[in-house]
Structure 1
Amino acid sequence: MSQFERIGPEPALQLLEQGAAVVDIRDPQSFAGGHITGAQHLDNGSLPDFVAAADREQPLIVCCYHGNSSQPAASYFAELGFARVFSLDGGYELWRQQFPEKTARPAPHA
């Protein structure tokens, strides 16, 4: 059985500062409206290229809206052989509340 860990925003930030990758599986419009700084958006179209190019030894954090959809996605990455996979508890919504300075947002319209 493939394993992943559930982590909150604080340990996720520590992992990011140590070089972990973060993928966001929300819909493209939500991702464009704001995401964890440095996150890569993944959908069914971009998933094969990401998996082919990824360093499977690098820690991987999976983010969704609230931390529910990221769990089966994290399990999927673990099944693919990613060594350290994490599901972000609270998802992007909790992250942006706790770390607004680590959140990428679109530029305001002039």
Structure 2
Amino acid sequence: MIIYLILGIIIFIIYKKYTQYKVLKLVPSLLEEGGQIIDVRTKAEFTQGNKKGSINIPLDSLKTRINELDNSKPIIICCASGSRSALAKRLLITKGFENVHNVGMWKSLLKF
């Protein structure tokens, strides 16, 4: 029984890494299309380090600041680990945004 739990966790981790890899491959073309990088970490986290050109909209204020985003351009969301950016992506999709991409950790964007 425990082996199935461990196997499930391993499969979940592999799936998450694969989906992040797929999104990261898209980043250059998304940026060419005018993609907006939205960092949903707290202001304090953002000031400690961030991707140049990214916009800090903490997850807890995203609902009230959603009008700052251009729905006609790709939205690239990041945070510290990928959890908050996943929630942000879900929120934006429920608000009618279609071209939303979760890259997970903001540091993964430093190579672009």
Relative to the length of structure 2, the TM-score reads: 0.67
Which residue of the partner structure matches residue 99 of structure 2?
84
Partner AA of 1:14 in structure 2: S
Higher CA-based Rg: 2
Which residue of the partner structure matches residue 57 of structure 2?
42
Q: If each structure's helix is expressed as a fraction of its own residues, which one has the higher value?
A: 2
- The number of residues matched between the two structures is 92
Unaligned runs of 5+ in 1: 103-110
Q: Which deviations, in whole Å up to 9, do the C-alpha atoms of 1:15-48 show, x marking residues without a partner?
A: 1122011110112122112212211101234652
> What secondary structure, in the 3-state scheme, does the structure 2 residue paired with 1:62 have?
strand
What is the CA–CA distance in structure 2 between the aligned matches of 1:76 and 1:86, rounded to whole Å?
A: 12
Q: Which deviations, in whole Å up to 9, do the C-alpha atoms of 1:48-96 show, x marking residues without a partner?
A: 23x123221211111011222211110100110112111014x113333
Superposed CA RMSD? 2.2
Unaligned runs of 5+ in 2: 1-18
What is the CA–CA distance in structure 2 between the aligned matches of 1:12 and 1:53, rounded to whole Å?
A: 21
What is the CA–CA distance in structure 1 between the aligned matches of 2:76 and 2:85, rounded to whole Å?
A: 9
More RCO (CA 8 Å, sep 6+)? 1
> What secondary structure, in the 3-state scheme, does the structure 2 residue paired with 1:15 have?
helix
The answer (yes or no) to whether the contact 1:22–1:60 under 8 Å persists in 2 is yes
Relative to the length of structure 1, the TM-score reads: 0.69
